Amino acid sequence: MNVIVCLKQVPGTTKVTIDPQTNTLVRQGIESITNPFDTYALEEGVRLRERYGGKVTAISMGPPQADTMLKDAISVGADDTALICDSALAGSDTWATAYVLARAAGEINEYDLIICGRQTLDGDTGQVGPEMAEMLGIPFIAYVSKIEEIENGRMQVQRMVEDGYETIETTLPAVITVVKEINVPRLPSLRGLARARSASIPVWKAEELGIDKNMVGLSGSATRVIRIFYPQRVSQAQIFEGSMEDKVDSLVEKLREAKLI
């Protein structure tokens, strides 16, 4: 059972700034963390290896400093890692990112399952997983909350839906995105930390992956961010005056007007 887990480094703070030129996140000088949803993906990958054998390869597309995140991945059980890092990739949208990750998966070649977090903390789109599956031409299941069984190239999972869960069976290889209900990610181990300290993270360039540079980066991305803005804060509070009875009457009146009661 060989698993690829896709990780993304995201800002570890809510105080982010936007580059006014590109309308993308300014990542320099900000403390970064592993996208929290991806930690569940990695934990599930490691658990599958513990259950079925094989190996877990953690991959990421990102800047050079993302190698610390991949080292963290080793400390909690990833066997192999790869960082796809190339200036040509800067500014890629979800489609371009999915394309790059799909190429990387193709490079790894022998895999049974690709696991992603349901979405990232910064982009929040949840598109990369399904787009990857589409590009690789393999099945996709979103919001997986439990992997029940894997046998003879088939996998049965539970996926969360609004009012419960669905049980779905798929052939492998496949791509899934997972929700936080799926597991409790482990803490690192001392042996893992030692392995991580001495590990060097392989860096893959766009060229090595046979990536068409017209399909990646800002220019290769279909998405154009026109403007990013904070919603205007409007305060519409109304304070009723008078005796308690008057205030209650006014409130009830107002709620009736608004057809809320």
Chain residues binding other proteins by CB under 8 A are 186-194
Of 38 and 43, CB closest to other proteins = 43
Q: How far is the CB of 194 from other proteins (least distance, A)?
A: 8
DSSP codes of every residue in 100-131: HHHHHHHHH---SEEEEESS-SSS----HHHH
Q: Which amino acid is at 140?
A: F
Of 43 and 86, CB closest to other proteins = 43
Of 194 and 228, CB closest to other proteins = 194
The answer to whether the peptide bond before residue 173 is cis (omega within 30 degrees of 0) is: yes
Of 182 and 211, CB closest to other proteins = 182
Q: How far is the CB of 120 from other proteins (least distance, A)?
A: 22
Q: How far is the CB of 32 from other proteins (least distance, A)?
A: 18
Q: How far is the CB of 186 from other proteins (least distance, A)?
A: 6
Answer whether 35's CB lies under 8 Å from 88's CB: no
Closest CA to 199 of 58, 63, 84: 58
DSSP codes of every residue in 226-252: ----PPPP--------S-HHHHHHHHH
Q: How far is the CB of 191 from other proteins (least distance, A)?
A: 5
Of 187 and 222, CB closest to other proteins = 187
Return d(Cα 91, Cα 101) in angstroms, integer. Answer: 15
